[in-house]
């Protein structure tokens, strides 16, 4: 016999997050002619077109019509045959994969063995966003979510923490860092909201200086992102160029120093050049990591076309000098 999960119709419609325990029969009380259609629409999205009963009428959820009854019963469905799944189903699946009789690969993983996956999946999501590829965004968002759940399930196995600890921590963080939503702080625009967030974050982390904020930026971040964050924190307290144009002068200065640098100093001077360029992009509101990603992708795309044209000439890239290759590159560029 299935467990029974009962919910009031009003609660079902009001709660933005809703799930049914695995293998449980769902009973929705308080159904009426006004709320039946939105209830059915929501359940179809969450559970799929599952078998249900309304009074004496039985059938698929999509076909059942309101008949004056106040109780809608949705039958428990087989887990593997479900049309739709929820967050806690994902947790169950990862636990199942790591069971003694689960997947031989999943059950031997550790935080360290899959840590690079989090970076890879996040970057694949970024690429899908850049391409405005909604179907792929949906898939990659799931892959990013999977990484978080995987670590939480492993942590539970290791006696470190579990998914409820993770959810509690992130919810508490969001509530605390949004005093302009959940507290008494006022924020009339996005800038004031961000300022409230930053102030709450400093309070939460017990950071008393800008230097402390800078040193708490993860060193494992791409250095373009880390540099932009450091520059932003300095700018927040007035240590900044007044404009992108003024910042660009620093780029010119650093370029000259880099080109004149001795062998032992060229890496440091090269870093200064990059730091100045990143600052100039930041002053124009450009994310340096995304800008570099797009430029690299653009170059690879154009280079591919240059290579194709060279091969169509019956030659190899090394057979042509840079003047000839530049001419083909310019033609490709104009053709875009």
Taking the model in full, what pTM does it have? 0.73
CA 145 to chain centre: 8
In CATH terms, are 87-161 and 207-286 the same topology?
Answer: yes
| pLDDT value at 316 more than 90 | yes
> What value does the mean pLDDT take over residues 273-298?
93
| Residue 322 · residue 155 · CB < 8 Å | no
Three-state secondary structure readout of the chain: CCCEEEEEHHHHHHCCCCCCCCCCEEEEECCCCCCHHHHHHHHHHHHCCCEEEECCEEEECCCCCCCCCCEEEECCCCHHHCCCCCHHHHHHHHHHHCCCCCCCCHHHCCCCCCHHHHHHHHHHHHHHHHCCCHHHHHHHHHHHHHHHHHHHHHHHHCCCCCHHHHHHHHHHHHHHCCHHHHCCCCCCCHHHHHHHHHHHHHHHHCCCCHHHHHHCCCCCCCHHHHHHHHHHHHHHCCCCCCCHHHHHHHHHHHHHHHHHCCHHHHHHHHHHHHHHHHHHHHHCCCCHHHHHHHHHHHHHHHHHHHHHHHHHCCCCHHHCCHHHHHHHHHHHHHHC
Q: Which two tokens stand for residue 21?
A: 């325990």
pLDDT for res 200: 87
Average pLDDT, the chain: 93
Name the class of domain 4-81.
alpha beta
Residue 38 scores a pLDDT above 90: yes
What is the average per-residue pLDDT within 45-64? 93
Longest dimension (CA), the chain: 88
Give the β-pairing of 4-8 and 25-29.
parallel
Model confidence at 59, pLDDT cuts 50, 70, 90, reads: very high
List all residues 6 or more positions away from 26 whose beta carbon is below 8 Å from its beta carbon.
5, 6, 7, 20, 43, 47, 73, 74
Burial of 137: CB neighbours in 10 Å, binned 0-12, 13-18, 19+: middle
Rounded CA gap, 210 and 199, in Å?
11
| Residue 275 bridge partners (DSSP) | none
Confidence of residue 27 (pLDDT cuts 50, 70, 90): very high
Whole-angstrom Cα distance, residue 56 to residue 71?
Answer: 11
Question: What's the pLDDT tens digit per position in 207-264?
Answer: 888 898 899 888 888 899 999 999 999 998 899 999 999 999 999 999 999 999 999 9
Burial class (CB in 10 A: 0-12, 13-18, 19+), 74: buried
With a cut of 80, say whether residue 114 has pLDDT above it.
yes
Tokens of 215: 């040193």
The pLDDT assigned to 196 comes to: 87
Q: Where is pLDDT greater, at 307 or 123?
A: 307
Domains of the chain, by residue range, sit at 4-81, 87-161, 207-286, 289-335
pLDDT at 1: 63
CATH number of 87-161: 1.10.287.1080
For the segment 199-214, the average pLDDT, to the nearest whole number, is 85
**Residue 202 binned pLDDT confidence (cut-offs 50, 70, 90):** confident
Predicted local confidence at residue 277, as pLDDT: 97
CATH hierarchy code of domain 207-286: 1.10.287.1080
């Amino acid at each position: 016999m299935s467990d029974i999960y009962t919910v009031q119709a009003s609660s079902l419609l009001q709660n933005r997050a809703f799930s049914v325990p695995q293998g449980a029969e769902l009973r929705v009380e308080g159904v009426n002619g006004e709320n039946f259609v939105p209830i059915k629409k929501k359940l179809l999205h969450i559970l799929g077109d599952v078998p249900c009963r309304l009074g004496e009428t039985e059938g698929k959820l999509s076909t059942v019509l309101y008949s004056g009854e106040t109780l809608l019963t949705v039958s428990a469905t087989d887990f593997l045959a479900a049309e739709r799944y929820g967050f806690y189903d994902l947790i169950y699946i990862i636990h199942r994969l790591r069971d003694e009789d689960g997947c031989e690969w999943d059950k031997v993983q550790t935080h360290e063995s899959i840590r690079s996956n989090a970076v890879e999946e996040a970057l694949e999501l970024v690429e899908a966003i850049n391409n405005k590829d909604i179907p792929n965004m949906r898939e990659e968002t799931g892959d990013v979510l999977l990484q978080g759940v995987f670590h939480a399930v492993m942590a539970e196995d290791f006696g470190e923490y579990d998914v409820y600890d993770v959810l509690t921590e992130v919810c508490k963080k969001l509530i605390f860092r949004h005093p302009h939503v959940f507290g008494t702080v006022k924020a009339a625009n996005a800038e004031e909201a961000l300022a409230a967030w930053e102030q709450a974050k400093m309070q939460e982390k017990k950071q008393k200086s800008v230097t402390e904020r800078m040193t708490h930026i993860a060193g494992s971040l791409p250095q373009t992102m880390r540099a932009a964050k450091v520059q932003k924190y300095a700018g927040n307290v007035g240590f900044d160029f007044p404009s992108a144009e003024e910042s660009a002068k620093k780029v010119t200065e650093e370029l000259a120093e880099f080109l004149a640098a001795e062998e032992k100093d060229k890496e440091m001077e090269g870093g200064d050049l990059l730091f100045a360029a990143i600052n100039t992009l930041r002053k124009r509101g450009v994310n340096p990591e995304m800008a570099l990603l797009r430029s690299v992708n653009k170059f690879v795309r154009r280079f591919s076309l240059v290579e194709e044209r060279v091969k169509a000439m019956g030659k190899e890239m090394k057979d042509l000098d840079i003047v000839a290759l530049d001419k083909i590159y310019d033609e490709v560029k104009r053709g875009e």
